[in-house]
Amino acid sequence: MTTQSKVNNIFYKEGQKLLVAVDCIVFGFNRGKLKLLIMERKIEPQKGKWSLIGGFVQKDESLDQAAYRILQACTGIHDMHLDQLYAFGEVDRDTGGRVVSVAYYSLINLELFEQELLKEYNAKWINIDDIPELALDHNKMANSALEALQKQASIKPIGFELLPEKFTLPQLQLLYEAIYNRKMDKRNFQKKILKNDLLIKLDEKDKSTSKKGAYLYRFDLDKYSKIKSNEDSFYIKV
Partner DNA sequence: AATTTTAAACGTATGCTATACACTTTTATG
Partner DNA sequence: CATAAAAGTGTATAGCATACGTTTAAAATT
- For a copy of itself, the binding residues (CB under 8 A) are 3, 6-8, 10-21, 42-43, 55-64, 66, 69-70, 73-74, 84, 86-91, 98-100, 102, 120-121
Closest distance to DNA from the beta carbon of 126 (Å): 25
Does 51 interact with DNA (rule: CB under 7 A)?
no
1 contact, one of DNA, a copy of itself, none, CB 5-8 Å limit per kind: none
Closest distance to DNA from the beta carbon of 114 (Å): 28
Closest distance to DNA from the beta carbon of 31 (Å): 13
Question: Exactly one of 190, 196, 200, 220 binds DNA (CB under 7 A); which one?
Answer: 190
Which residues, at least 6 apart from 221, have a Cβ–Cβ distance to it below 8 Å?
160
Which bin fits 13, alpha (ψ -120 to 50), beta or left (φ > 0)?
beta
**C-beta of residue 156 within 8 angstroms of C-beta of residue 234:** yes
Which residues, at least 6 apart from 108, have a Cβ–Cβ distance to it below 8 Å?
26, 27, 28, 37, 75, 77, 80, 161, 162
Q: What are phi and psi of 20, to 5 degrees?
A: -120, 125
Give helix 169-180 / helix 138-155 axis angle, nearest 10°. 130
In the shown chain, the binding pattern of residues 137 to 176 toward DNA, with x for contact by CB under 7 A and - for none, equals -------------------------------xxx------
CB atoms near residue 49 (< 10 Å): 15
Does 233 interact with DNA (rule: CB under 7 A)?
no
Give helix 169-180 / helix 186-195 axis angle, nearest 10°. 100
Does 210 interact with DNA (rule: CB under 7 A)?
yes
Binding stretches for DNA (CB under 7 A):
168-170, 185-188, 190-192, 195, 205, 207, 209-215, 235, 237-238
